[in-house]
Amino acid sequence: MKKKRGFSIALAMIFVVLTLSLTACNGWFSNNPDPTRYYIDIGKVDDARTASIVANNTIASCVRIISEYKNVTSASSGFVITEDGYVLTNRHCVVRYSSTGNDTPMFGSDKPMSANYSVVFADNKEYSASLVAFSSSADLAVLKINTLNIPLISNDAKFQALVFETERELYYGERVYTIGNPENIGLILTELTIASPAIRLNKNDMHDTVILDGNINHGNSGGPLFNAYSRICGIVYARIDGSSKDAYGIGCAISTDVIIDFLDSIKNADINYKTTPAVTSSGEAA
């Protein structure tokens, strides 16, 4: 008799669990307009919060870069690295390789030609910019926001500068984030995973590449790579194209070390970028 009663109780409990599971999947009740309201994936709560914090800490320093030469326009990403308006991006976003083997600003054929550059912030404020320096081997470039002759903007206008991470190394499986301008639809946050902190993709490469697992699209090039502390840990520069490599969801980034080497090599500008702890390149406290 006791065995039958115990069996009946077990069946009843199973029925209750199944009922609750089904109603939870359906939003508890069929007329609930938001079925996710009562169903939270606990494993993703912390990650979502981190992504939100990183985005809010950094979005004011991320920009869309619009490059125009004659009637040809391209859109990419970039980010502010100094308070006086120096912006970092990829060389291939603002410079094209000419038929003579020389880098030329935006779509030049056989000699350097000036292009028009604009940087657009998240609040849609737009400024013209000038090309300051670039590196073919590192695929990096620096623009300077032009603040002269802009109403209500003084020449010493201060922008919110991001800080380079120099104390923490990237590791396998680390969650990182980028804010970029894929397909020129606006600044978008993308959560990524470090698939490898350093790989030499080709024997002729000048530096290792950070491999990213996640969605990198056309226009993300030049976007900052952030760690969970909202510090720059790289710059996105490419994706491995499935059409030619039979691979999808694999992105590439340049490490902070390579970026800093490039910035330090620039002789025609005083670029006082910040690192962790927040100290400028000239050694002064931020």
pLDDT, averaged per 10 consecutive residues of the chain (286 residues), comes to 56 49 38 41 58 92 90 90 96 69 49 75 94 90 83 65 94 95 92 92 79 90 94 92 67 94 92 80 51
User: What is the third-level CATH fold of 165-262?
Assistant: Thrombin, subunit H (2.40.10)
Measuring CA to CA, how many Å separate 260 from each of 93, 113, 138? 19, 27, 11
Measuring CA to CA, how many Å separate 262 from each of 78, 134, 255, 259? 16, 9, 11, 5
Cα–Cα distance between 13 and 117 in angstroms, integer?
A: 67
Cα–Cα distance between 270 and 276 in angstroms, integer?
A: 19
Q: Do domains 59-162 and 165-262 have the same CATH topology?
A: yes
Cα–Cα distance between 281 and 278 in angstroms, integer?
A: 10
Q: If you compute the radius of gyration of the chain from its CA atoms, what whole number of angstroms results? A: 24
Here the tokens at position 249 are: 């969801």
Cα–Cα distance between 27 and 2 in angstroms, integer?
A: 37
For residue 257, report the phi and psi dihedrals to the nearest 5 degrees. -60, -45
Confidence (pLDDT) at 240: 81
Nearest to 217 by CA among 244, 240, 194: 240
Half-sphere exposure of 24 (CA within 13 A, CB side): 10
**In the chain, domain spans:** 2-39, 59-162, 165-262
Query: Other CB atoms closer than 10 Å to residue 93's CB: what's the count?
Result: 26
For the chain, the straight-line distance linking the first and the last C-alpha, in angstroms and rounded, comes to 79
> Token pair 């619009």 is at which residue?
66
Confidence (pLDDT) at 35: 40
Specify the CATH number of the domain 59-162: 2.40.10.10
- What's the whole-model pTM score? 0.75
Cα–Cα distance between 157 and 153 in angstroms, integer?
A: 6
